[in-house]
């Protein structure tokens, strides 16, 4: 491919990224969908993120595994709600850069502070803003290059390295943050469990003491009646 053609193809693709708008909460289907309908809908929504020859971002087996591992709620009568679609869109985007365990933990953490609608709309805004900013920056760097064959190809290669290292550093920082939050959440869960056990233990002791007191009174009354 000639340098000018490579540049034109990249600019065209970047323009598509800049125009992309993730579906907002109110535009997600409000009628529950069966599995095949879910796959068709999600593939259409995520088309811009797929490259030729790459594995699919979502499949029925993936969804079944998310349900089995309690990453998303179980469907009702084999139908998936708006909440399910929001979960699946977020997971499908995040799993390109994060392990599924980290994804599950960060979604659990965030949805502990807000409902699914707020979580999804925040996710959508962050994704679109980041996507548009990156596309604009890459486009500026590509357009700044002249159509000289060697320099143009070399510049694209170095740009690919730069973007890869930036992504790697961002992923490293994201993992660190998620795992810190997860440790804190787990510690809080453990504390709540301990507090509950202590409370139940105290209640049990109180009930046993009360029962023993009743038994003693009953025994005294029985002895008095015998006298």
How does pLDDT run across 104-132, given as a tens digit for each residue? 999 999 999 899 999 999 999 999 999 99
Residue range 134-166, pLDDT digits in tens:
999 999 988 887 666 556 778 888 999 999 999
Q: What is the pLDDT of residue 208?
A: 57
Answer for the pair 181, 109: CB distance below 8 angstroms, yes or no.
yes
Contacts of 82 (CB under 8 A, 6+ apart): 25, 28, 29, 30
Does residue 217 sit within a domain? no
DSSP state of 79: B
Answer for the pair 85, 66: CB distance below 8 angstroms, yes or no.
no
Does residue 123 sit within a domain? yes
Least confident interval from 10-19, 27-36, 143-152:
143-152
Q: What is the pLDDT of residue 55?
A: 79
Q: Which two tokens stand for residue 42?
A: 């999600």
Is the CA virtual torsion 8, 11, 17, 20 positive or negative?
negative
Report which of 133, 168, 159 is spatially closest to residue 17, judged by C-alpha positions.
133
Does residue 89 sit within a domain? yes
Q: What is the pLDDT of residue 227?
A: 47
Q: What is the pLDDT of residue 218?
A: 57
**Residue 79, strand partner residues:** 76
Query: What's the domain range around 152?
Result: 3-174
Does residue 197 sit within a domain? no
Q: What is the pLDDT of residue 205?
A: 54
Does residue 120 sit within a domain? yes
Asked if the model's pLDDT at residue 1 lies above 80, the reply is: no
Please state the length of the chain: 227
Alpha helices in the chain (DSSP H): 3-19, 35-45, 60-68, 82-94, 100-111, 116-143, 149-226
CA 184/CA 3 separation, integer angstroms: 51
The mean pLDDT value for 84-101 works out to 95
Report which of 29, 63, 22, 79 is spatially closest to residue 45, judged by C-alpha positions.
22
Does residue 8 sit within a domain? yes
Does residue 222 sit within a domain? no
Q: What is the pLDDT of residue 51?
A: 78
CA 220/CA 214 separation, integer angstroms: 10
Q: What is the pLDDT of residue 215?
A: 57
CA 57/CA 89 separation, integer angstroms: 10
The mean pLDDT value for 13-42 works out to 95
* Number of domains within the chain: 1
Does residue 209 sit within a domain? no
Rounded to two decimals, what is the model's pTM?
Answer: 0.79
């Amino acid at each position: 491919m000639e340098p000018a053609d490579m540049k034109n193809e990249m600019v065209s693709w970047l323009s598509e990224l800049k125009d992309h708008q993730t579906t907002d909460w109110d535009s997600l289907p409000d009628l529950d969908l069966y599995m095949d309908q879910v796959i068709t809908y999600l593939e259409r929504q995520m088309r811009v993120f797929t490259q030729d020859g790459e594995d699919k971002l979502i499949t029925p087996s993936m969804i079944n595994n998310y349900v089995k591992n309690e990453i998303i709620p179980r469907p009702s009568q084999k139908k998936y709600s708006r909440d399910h679609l929001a979960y699946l869109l977020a997971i499908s985007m995040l799993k390109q850069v994060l392990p599924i365990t980290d994804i599950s933990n960060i979604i659990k953490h965030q949805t502990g502070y807000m409902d699914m609608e707020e979580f999804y709309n925040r996710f959508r805004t962050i994704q679109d803003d980041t996507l548009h900013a990156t596309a604009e920056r890459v486009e500026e760097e590509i357009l700044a290059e002249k159509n000289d064959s060697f320099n143009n190809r070399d510049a694209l290669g170095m740009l690919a390295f730069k973007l890869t290292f930036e992504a790697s550093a961002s992923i490293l920082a994201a993992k660190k943050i998620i795992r810190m939050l997860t440790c804190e959440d787990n510690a809080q869960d453990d504390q709540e469990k301990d507090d509950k056990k202590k409370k139940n233990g105290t209640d049990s002791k109180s009930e046993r003491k009360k029962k023993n007191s009743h038994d003693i009174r009953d025994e005294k009354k029985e002895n008095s009646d015998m006298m």
